[in-house]
Structure 1
Amino acid sequence: MSIIDKFLAKRNGGNPTAEMGFTDHIEALRWHLVRALIAIIAGALIVFFNIDFVFQKIILGPANNDFISYRLLCQFGKSIGVDALCMDPLKIKFQNNELSGQFMMSFSVSFMLGFILAFPYVFWEFWKFVKPALKPGELKYARGIVFWSSLLFFIGVFFAYFLIAPFTINFFANYQLSPQFENIITITNYYDTMSDLILGLGIVFELPIIVYFLSRVGILTPKFMRDQRRIAIVVIMVIAAVITPPDWFSIFLVAIPLVLLYEAGIIVSARILKEKKLKEKETLDW
């Protein structure tokens, strides 16, 4: 029996020959996706009808010198004697080089933020589809998974928006090879950078949840994750170097939370392995 067949069998209550077939499962999945998409569109409409405020105050927030992160980071830096936290004033100009650029940008921003707003419901729909395939014992340890997944996602989003984005934008906006060169950035390039950071870290912060599911199906083990820790740290440092300005403070600012998430994943995987061993022991004793 293939992995898909096993999954479908579990959704049928453990009976592979149950009435609900493959096409029925696809139909169920389709309606989960439709409802999730409706939630995203609803969130996107809320953003679209407030697009002026959203774009000026939220999307362009890190591009303004009075952005809250710049002020708080500078105050914190002065209190601990780290002047690097007081970033240079921004000298940044934007341009639109496409006829429909600003109009299409409003749709892109609306759908990105719509997805962020609807994420708890989107994940809940995904969970409703997967849930029937889990055993009662697995469901017991999956309580609150929608809450924890949403919390981790929003922590990643806020971490990217309030910490990583300001450092990234400030560095690249003020970087010059020569005073003769002026940084005039397209709104598309600016938005792509912001969306990659925000959605990227939001998804990366789901690492413990991903580890949980992979450990449940036996793909990941704590031993494997411990053995690959050095390689994982190198990969994390590379990722941090790619999405942040090339200075060690910014790189460590991103790398440290990611390493902590990896360590949290090891703890999650070890707990699941312990539960499996206890269950096997109880079965043998019986």
Structure 2
Amino acid sequence: MAEPTNNKEDELAGTEQPFVQHLIELRDRLLYCCYGLAVAAALLAIWPGPSGLIDFIAIPIRAHMPEGAKLIAIGVFSPFFVPLKVLGMTAVLLALPWLMYQIWMFVAPGLYSHEKRFALPLIFFGSLLAYAGIAFVQFFVLDKMFIFIQRFAPAAVQATPDIASYVEAILSLYIAFGVAFQVPIVVMLLVRFEMVTIEKLRSFRGYFIVIAFVVAAVLTPPDVVSQLALAIPMCLLYEVGIISAKYFVKHSKAPDERADAPTP
């Protein structure tokens, strides 16, 4: 948070609230989050429904299974709990902008006006990046990953995956890619709060490539395709973050900071 200048009245002066008031505000925001999740879950339960969601996320693997083959449920309660788990995770994704908005509304009173201008766009930009990462998994990574894995499957072995293990595996991929696609946001914030300079980020590029491949190896299954599919976008998004940081810092400064900035 930017420090107020000495020659200008602090716009947040006198706005401090007691601790109990903060707890009440936190409670209200958590309730709004629960309401949003409940609405999202109800809409998804109506359409496409838990079965429809399972059918959708199973498209990539069923495309590589024998015709007529289906995923199996080994656990006694898997046919009941797995669709509910998928419904819950999808509700979180659907309500993600609303959840992020509630977080912003909770912290907004403690932000200066110039900080509010860039906080809300960042929240929704981050949500879009998370959606992009999940869509990348669903429509590209899973298909290529299953093609790669099947090349090593013996001819005498027929793959009949368990629905619980399949859902757990792809949900972990959704989370990994959704978080990894936030690299531009992290880069811009690091530069904006002067924790690092753009020049240092450029010189750190080689080290970040190594870090990206290590992170991909840890977060993805032990196959080359999914690891490359995560590491390469992270490197590209790092470059996007560097390019965007200069513009972001320029337009998110306080008015007095802009006036004091040297003219290029």
Q: Which TM-score bucket, shorter chain as reference? A: 0.7 to 0.9
Correspondence for 2:31 among 29, 34, 49: 34
Could you say which residue in structure 2 is the equivalent of 1:22?
A: 19
Correspondence for 1:222 among 194, 198, 208: 198
Q: Is the 8 A contact 2:181 2:234 kept in 1?
A: yes
Could you say which residue in structure 2 is the equivalent of 1:234?
A: 210
Q: Is the 8 A contact 1:13 1:132 kept in 2?
A: no
Q: Is the 8 A contact 1:164 1:244 kept in 2?
A: no
Q: Does 1:166 align with 2:143?
A: yes
Please list every run of 5 or more consecutive structure 1 residues that lacks an aligned counterpart in the other structure: 7-11, 66-88
C-alpha change, 1:103 and 1:143, in structure 2 (3 Å) is closer
Structure 1 consecutive aligned stretches of length 4 or more whose deviation exceeds 6 Å: none
1:1-286 correspondence to structure 2 within 5 Å? 14-15=12-13, 18=15, 20-49=17-46, 50-56=49-55, 58-65=56-63, 89-91=64-66, 94-142=71-119, 144-172=121-149, 175-176=152-153, 178-242=154-218, 243=220, 246-247=223-224, 251-273=227-249, 279-280=256-257, 282-283=259-260
Secondary structure of 2:71's counterpart equals strand
User: What displacement does 1:262 show?
Assistant: 0.8
What are the Cα deviations for residues 19-53 of structure 1, in whole angstroms up to 9, with x where unaligned? 51233223212321221122122212332341122
Q: Is the 8 A contact 1:13 1:133 kept in 2?
A: no
Q: Distance in 1 between matches of 2:11 and 2:210?
A: 43
Q: Is the 8 A contact 1:90 1:174 kept in 2?
A: no
Q: Distance in 1 between matches of 2:39 and 2:196?
A: 37
Q: Taking structure 2 as the reference length, what is the TM-score of the superposition?
A: 0.78
Secondary structure of 1:144's counterpart equals helix
Q: Taking structure 1 as the reference length, what is the TM-score of the superposition?
A: 0.73
Q: CA RMSD in A?
A: 3.2
Q: Is the 8 A contact 1:212 1:268 kept in 2?
A: yes
What are the Cα deviations for residues 48-92 of structure 1, in whole angstroms up to 9, with x where unaligned? 341122212x12111222xxxxxxxxxxxxxxxxxxxxxxx4357
What are the Cα deviations for residues 98-126 of structure 1, in whole angstroms up to 9, with x where unaligned? 21112111211011110111111111111
C-alpha change, 1:54 and 1:228, in structure 2 (3 Å) is same
Q: Distance in 2 between matches of 1:174 and 1:94?
A: 20
The percentage of aligned residue pairs carrying the same residue is 26
- Equivalenced residue count is 249
Please list every run of 5 or more consecutive structure 2 residues that lacks an aligned counterpart in the other structure: 5-9
